[in-house]
Amino acid sequence: MSIEAKIRNQIRSDEAGMLYFISDFAEHGNDVFISRVLSECVNDGLLLRIANGIYCKPIETRFGPLFPSVEELVNAIARRDNAQILPTGETAQNRLGLSTQVPMNSVYLTTGSARKLYLRGRTVTLKRSVPRNFACKNDFMAALIQALKSIGKDNLTEEHTSTIVGLLKEHLDDATYVDDLKTAPIWVRKILSEIIRNIKQHELATT
């Protein structure tokens, strides 16, 4: 069996929705050869090209192929690179429900390589960042801190606060939040500490 046939058989046996990078097939040849094989798979309808060097086995629906989400893509990149990622800016706000606006430029911080991907009219930017931004033990708290930094102290509304209360009731980790708050700017730390204190006081009063 040829190497190309082996690659095709592997893809056919995988579940729909699987993401592939050229490096996933490094054992079969150099990047130029693998890129050519995967491009032919795209031409044959076996794969979809998601971005430069990134492919997926399509999930077919009656409306056409279902593309992976931005979050699925960046998580796959993080696993491949053994790196951490963290949504920031409007991306973090949208992910947590603090904004209904879907950003056309999704921005993530990463401990891996910086890069920019173009996905069907949208841009995904991975920005290499300092270790301090990844010091939180709780991923939710890390994203919440980034979202608040993006909103800004003077732009925080009652609606934001109400949403944050609901999020904290659902996701707060009592074992880590004290240490996690130490990684936040002072104004963010004060706001979240006050909200958490009020939540706990309310819980005590109703038990």
What ranges do the domains of the chain cover? 3-66, 70-205
For the residues 30-56, what does the mean pLDDT come to?
93
How far is it, in rounded angstroms, from Cα 24 to Cα 31? 10
DSSP string, 154-203: GG--HHHHHHHHHHHHHH--TTTHHHHHTTS-HHHHHHHHHHHHHHHHHH
What is the average per-residue pLDDT within 38-60?
Answer: 93
What are 116's two structure tokens? 């920019």
- pLDDT value of residue 35: 94
Q: Pull the structure tokens for residue 54.
A: 């990134």
Tokens linked to 124: 């995904």
Higher pLDDT, 124 or 205: 124
Is it the case that residue 66 has pLDDT exceeding 90? no
Confidence category of residue 205, pLDDT binned at 50, 70, 90? confident
Residue 89 pLDDT: 95
Q: Are 41 and 11 in contact (CB under 8 A)?
A: yes
Residue 44's pLDDT band (cuts 50, 70, 90) = very high
**DSSP letters of 77-123?**
HHHHHT--EEE-HHHHHHHHTS-----SEEEEEESS--EEEEETTEE
Helix (H, G, I), strand (E, B) or coil at 18: coil
Question: Where does 3-66 sit in CATH, by number?
Answer: 1.10.10
How many whole angstroms separate alpha carbon 158 and alpha carbon 154? 12
Rg over CA atoms, the chain: 21
Q: What integer pLDDT is reported at residue 132 of this predicted model? A: 87
Which pTM does this prediction carry? 0.85
Q: pLDDT tens-digit profile of 74-114? A: 999 999 999 999 999 999 999 999 999 888 899 999 999 99
Helix (H) or strand (E) holding 9: helix 3-13
Question: Looking at residue 29, what is its pLDDT?
Answer: 84
Angle in degrees, 0-180, between the axes of helices 31-43 and 3-13, rounded to the nearest 10: 60
- Each residue of 119-178: pLDDT tens digit? 877 899 999 998 889 999 999 999 999 999 999 999 999 999 999 999 999 999 999 999
